A and B are shown apart, each in its own frame.
Chain A
């Protein structure tokens, strides 16, 4: 079945630095990718929708200058957390789909800890 690879699976960074998370579709071309954030014992909150070759659409309340999303190819989307702060520590999950009504496939997530 379709696989979405997310890297790294965990990362620790210092406050003020930036960290990049990659989301790759391994065996299909993903026209759309979604980025979610999940706090401990809470649900997944959509941060942004990314379509290949165009600017990401951010959900209300998500700072686009802080969470930079790039979807430069049909198999790769990246989320860069800029000037990270401890409150950005969370679990970030990407998902991808090939076509509009295709099933969504999720990555394994990235646990970000900002010290």
Chain B
């Protein structure tokens, strides 16, 4: 079974600064998807960024980018120019590329605080 580990329960960043959230995973599969989701106080799950394992290029979405190291099974999220609205729980998630269920496995989450 796949596991996703987020070793940072809480992180803090000043507004306009950059922060990196860590995520490692364990799998025996070669093809899969990795995601970062944001859960603000409203509890709505919001997709931040997605990475296909077969792509070597790191995904980027505006101020959000990932550092995907397949061999090391590492998938960190970098948030640049942090904004107050970035404060939330961030979950790293894994999804198999094959299989009929293709369910998401979530990490334990990192609570990000953004300070003035």
Contacts and interface: CB of A to CB of B under 8 A. Distances in A.
B116 to A, nearest CB: 24
Interface in A84-115: 91, 93, 95, 100-101, 103-104, 106, 108-109
Interface stretch (A19-27, A40-48, A63-71): A40-48
Nearest to A104: B104
A43 B106 contact: yes
Nearest to A57: B101
Given A49-B101, A57-B101, A109 B106 contact: no
Contact of B45 (A57, A93, A101): A93
Contacts of B47: 103-104
Interface string B103-116: 11111110000000
Given A43-B91, A44-B91, A100-B102, A108 B43 contact: yes
Interface of A: 32, 34, 38, 42-46, 49, 57, 91, 93, 95, 100-101, 103-104, 106, 108-109
A44 B106 contact: yes
B44 interface: yes
Contacts of B100: 100
A108 B44 CA distance: 5
Given A93-B45, A95-B45, A106-B45, A46 B104 contact: yes
Given A34-B103, A57-B101, A100-B102, A43 B42 contact: no
Contacts of A104: 47, 104
B104 A42 contact: no
B45 A43 contact: no
Contacts of B43: 38, 91, 93, 108-109
Contacts of B45: 44, 93, 95, 106
Contacts of B106: 43-45
Interface in B58-113: 91, 100-109
B111 to A, nearest CB: 8
